[in-house]
Structure 1
C-alpha cells in the first residue's frame, strides 16, 4: 500500500459536530477545576456588581433618554463577562468553545438603532441573567473547594506543626472529646485521618463544584447557540440528502435511457422485422431472432448492473462484507479489500451508504485516476465506520471537480458522515469516509 505521509489535504468538509477533547490525567483535571472555581469567584463578584448597578440604573432611568444607553452598556458588559466564561468552560466541560450569534445593527444604522439592538437580543439578556445569578453558585463552589483544599492540606501536614500548637490543662481538643485521649499522637492520628479523607475525596468534590458552575454557564451562555448549530447541521444534512437523491435519480434515468431503453427499442424493432420475415425469408428471421436474443441478454446484464449500483441483493441478504467482496471482484482495476472481521451487520442505511461510497469511489478510480492498483480498508472505531480507498493513480482529485466525489460527499453528509480527499498532483489518492453507525 502506498504511503500517504506526503499527501496534502485538498478538501475536508465540516463535520456535524465537534468531538469532546481527550480525558485529562486526574492531577491536571484537578488543577483545571480548582483554577476554574477559584478564579470564577472574583469574576462573579465583579460581574454581579457591574451588572446589577447597570441594570438598576438603566431601569431606574428608563423613563429618561439616558436610561436606554446605560441599559445597553450593561448588556454589552454582560456579553464581555459571558465571553470570558465561554473561554473558561472548555477546561471543565472538555468541549470546544461555542459562541452564540448576537443580533447586530445594520451598516449605517443610527445611534439609537445601535442602542436598541442589544436590548432586543434574547441572548444578551441570558448573558445578563448568568452574570447576576452566578454569584450564589460561585460562592457555594468557592467555599466548598476552599474547605476541601484546606482540610486536605492542613490534615495531611498536621504532623509537621502539631508540636507548635499549645494545649493548656483546661483545653479540650476534638480528639479528647471523641474519647481518643489528649496525647499528641492521638491528635496527629485523628487529624491525619481527616486530611486523608479530604485528600481522597478532593478530586470528586472539586470536579462536582466545577461542573455545577460550568453547567449553569453552558445552559444560559451556549445552550441556545448549540441548538441553533444543531438545527443548521440538520438542515444541511437534509439538503445534502435531497441533493444526493436527486443526483442518483438523474444518473439512474440517464443510465436507463442510454442503456436498457435503447436496447429494448432495438429489440422491439428486431422482433417486428423477424415477424415480417417469417414467411418470406425464414433464414433471415432466424438470424434476426438470434440478434434479438443477444439484445435481451445484454439488456438483462445492464439491468443487473444498475440494480447492483442501487442496492444489490447480496447486500440485503449477506451484509456489507460480502457485498464489498463481490464489488471488488468485479472491479476493472485489481482491488485489495481489507474488512474488519468484527464488523458484523449494521443498520440498512449505513450499509447502503457505505456500499455506495465504495462503489462510486471505485468507479472514479477506474474512469479518471489512471491507477493500476487500489486498496480498500473498512474498519469500525467505536460508533463510527471508517472507509479508506487508496489508489496509485495520477492524483489531483477534488470534490469540487465532480467525478462522483460530490455525490459521495452529499450522501455521507446526509447521514451525518464526513469525507476527506487527499490527492496531491502525481498521486497517490486517498478517499477517507467516516460514517456514524
Structure 2
C-alpha cells in the first residue's frame, strides 16, 4: 500500500570502511555546526529587528508588509536549513505544506496569505531562537576540535609560545612533575582524550541543533503525514473488510446455487426413484432392481458433486499436505492439460494458502468452461514481497474484473486477503490472471 514517507537516503558506498564513514560523518556534522552558528546570529538579529519593527508599526499599516517580508524571508532560511540537516540525518527532509491562496484570489489576499500560515510562523520562530542550540553546539565542537588538534600536535608548536616560571604551568600545578617532557606528555594525553571523544561529542552537538530545527520546520508536517498514513491504512482496512464480506457473500450464493442445481436435484430424483422401486417390488421385481441400480448411480454422482463442491471450500489435502500437493491434485482433475510450476514446499499462513488455492481453482474452472484453450500454465512463486500466482491460457480471451463478470468475486477474495489481482486478456490473445498475495 502507498507509504507517505518517500525519503531519499544519503547512503555511503558499501566499499567504504567504517572508519572512513565515521570520518565523513564527523566532517558533515562539523561543517553543519560551524556554518549554523553565524547563520543563527544572522537570523536572530534580522528577524528580531524586522518582527518587532513590523509589530510596532502595525498601527499605521506600514508594519503589515514588513511582517509579510519577515515571514517570506523566514521561509527561505527554513528551506536552506532543511537542505542542511538532510546529510546529518542521512536522509532527505521533505518540504512541508504551506498554505496557499485559493485560485482567483486578489493580489492583496495572496500577499497576506503567509500571515495565516502556521508553518511559516514556526519557520520564523526557528530563525529567532536557533542561536540557542547553535551556540551550545558551536562551543562544544570548537572546544573539542581545538583540544584534539592542539594536544596531538603539541610538539610542533610548544616551543613557539612563552611558558610561565617554574611551578606555574598546568602539569606542575597538578603535581605531575616539572620539565618540558612532562608538559608535552600531559598535553598530548589531553589531545588523545579529545580525539577519542570527538565523534560522539560532535555528533551529539549536530543532532542537538538538527533535532531542534526538524521539530519546528517539519514537526507539524510529519504529524500531518502520520495522520494521512493512518487514514489511508484505515481506508485500506475498510476496503479489505468490504471485499471479504462481498467475497463471502458471493461464495455462499455460488455454493447455494450449485447445491440447488446439482446435489439437491439428484437427491429429489433419488427419493422419487426409491419410492417407485418400493412400489415395483410387489408387482415387477426386475423393474424394481433396475430402478434401485439407477438410484445407486445417482447416489455416486451426487457424492462426486459434493466432493467437487467441498474442494472449493477447504479441500482436506490443502490442510493436511499444503499448497503444492493441493495444486497438483487440482491440476490432475482439470479437463485441459495443465503445466504446473509450483515449487512452494514450505507451509504458508492458512489464509494465504486458501486464497491461492481458490484463485487457481476458480481460474481453471473458468478456463475449462469459457476459454476454449488447448493448454494452461500455472505458476506459484514465493518472492521477497509475498506469493505470486499466475494462470495463463491460450484461449479466446476477453476476461474482465468488472462487476457482473465471473472474476469479480475472485477479485474480492484476493483483496480481502490484502492482495492484488490483475487480468490481461485481449480478445483472441489468451488470458493471464496474476494474483499477488502478501505473506
Q: Normalised by the size of structure 2, how large is the TM-score?
A: 0.73
1:418 CA displacement: 10
* 1:258 counterpart residue number: 254
Equivalent runs, 1:28-39 vs 2, <5 Å: 28-39=24-35
**Higher Cα Rg: structure 1 or 2?**
2
After superposing the two structures, state which structure 1 stretch, 256-265 or 109-118, moved more. Answer: 256-265
- 257 and 226 in structure 1: CA distance in 2 versus 1, 3 angstrom threshold: same
The Cα of 1:205 is off from its aligned counterpart by: 0.2
Match of 1:198 in 2: 194
Q: CA deviation at 1:228?
A: 1.3
2:303 is the alignment partner of 1:299: no
Q: Name the residue aligned to 2:2.
A: 14
Task: Name stretches of at least 5 consecutive residues in structure 1 with no aligned partner.
Answer: 1-12, 346-350, 380-385, 395-399
For residues 141 and 93 of structure 2, the distance between their equivalents in structure 1, rounded to whole angstroms, comes to 25
Query: Shift in Å at residue 20 of structure 1?
Result: 8.1
Q: What's 2:67 paired with?
A: 71
- Of 341, 365, 370, 1:335 maps to 341
TM-aligned CA deviation for residue 326 of structure 1: 4.9
Report the CA distance shift for 1:297/1:70 in structure 2 as closer, same or farther (over 3 A): farther
> 1:186: how far off?
0.9
Match of 1:107 in 2: 103
Distance 1:194 1:66, change over 3 A: same
Q: What residue is the counterpart of 2:140 in the other structure?
A: 144
Checking the alignment, whether the CA contact within 8 Å between 1:155 and 1:193 is kept in structure 2 is: yes
Match of 1:210 among 206, 209, 212: 206
C-alpha distance in 1 between matches for 2:414 and 2:83: 33
Question: Measured at CA, do residues 431 and 262 of structure 1 come closer, stay the same or move farther in structure 2, by a change above 3 Å?
Answer: closer
Larger deviation, residues 230-239 vs 101-110: 230-239
Shift >6 Å, 4+ stretches? 312-315, 363-371, 390-394, 400-409, 417-421, 428-435
Unaligned runs of 5+ in 2: 13-20, 278-287, 332-338, 394-399, 424-428
Name 2:294's counterpart in structure 1.
287
SS in structure 1 opposite 2:60? coil
1:236-385 correspondence to structure 2 within 5 Å? 236-281=232-277, 283-284=290-291, 287-288=294-295, 290-291=297-298, 294-307=301-314, 323-326=322-325, 329-330=328-329, 332=331, 333-337=339-343, 351=349, 354-355=352-353, 372=377, 374=379, 376-377=381-382
User: How big is the shift at 1:119?
Assistant: 1.4
Write the distance in 2 (CA, Å) between the matches of 1:48 and 1:163: 42
- Out of 226, 229, 232, the residue aligned to residue 225 of structure 2 is 229
Residue in 2 that maps onto 1:387: 386
Q: Give the number of equivalent residue pairs.
A: 390
- Seen in structure 2, the aligned counterparts of structure 1 residues 401 and 217 have a Cα distance that, compared at 3 Å, is farther
8 Å contact kept, 2:421–2:435: yes
- CA deviation vs aligned residue, 1:269-316 (integer Å, no higher than 9, x gap): 3333343444435544763564355335423542442347xxx9977x
CA pair 247-431 structure 1, distance change in 2 beyond 3 A: closer
Q: 1:286 to 1:59 in 2, by over 3 A?
A: farther
C-alpha distance in 1, partners of 2:27/2:230? 37
Deviation at 1:235, TM superposition (A): 1.7
TM-score (norm 1): 0.74
Distance in 1, matches of 2:209 and 2:412, equals 45
The one-character-per-residue Cα deviations of 1:161-198 (angstroms, maximum 9, x if unpaired) are: 22222335468211121122332111110010000100
Shifted more, 174-183 versus 212-221: the winner is: 174-183
- Higher RCO (CA 8 Å, separation ≥ 6 residues): 1
Q: Which residue of 2 aligns with 1:121?
A: 117
Whether the 8 Å CA contact 1:260–1:302 is kept in 2: the answer is: no
Q: Show the counterpart of 1:86.
A: 82
Could you say which residue in structure 1 is the equivalent of 2:17? none
